[in-house]
Amino acid sequence: MLKESVTIQIASGLETRPIAMLVQVASQYRSTVHLESGTKKVNAKSIMGMMTLGLDNGESVTVVTEGEDEAEALQGLKEYLTQNHS
């Protein structure tokens, strides 16, 4: 299992479209992928779960990956969360 804190750098925060894109990124990997914020832990492959986090630009989230491609999954999510999407 890998865990890393990431500061979101998406101008609009994690609204509907960026969340859908994030779920697509997470779904490319065989590993389990979760995002943790405060006391919430959500499956990053679940659009409904991701919507409950309500994260904004500049907030910090912990990415947790576990499985055969966990390093690649962690890197892919970090890259998505730290690129400026408009």
Rounded mean pLDDT of the chain? 92
Encode pLDDT of 33-74 as tens digits.
Answer: 999 999 999 999 999 999 998 888 899 999 999 999 999 999
Domain residue spans of the chain: 2-81
pLDDT score of 2 more than 80 = yes
7: which strand partners? Answer: 60
Sign of the Cα torsion 53, 79, 68, 23 reads: positive
Three-state SS for 20? helix
Please report which helix (H) or strand (E) contains residue 40, including its range: strand 40-43
* Residue recorded with tokens 């890259």: 79
pLDDT band at 8 (very low <50, low <70, confident <90, very high): very high
The class (CATH top level) of 2-81 is: alpha beta
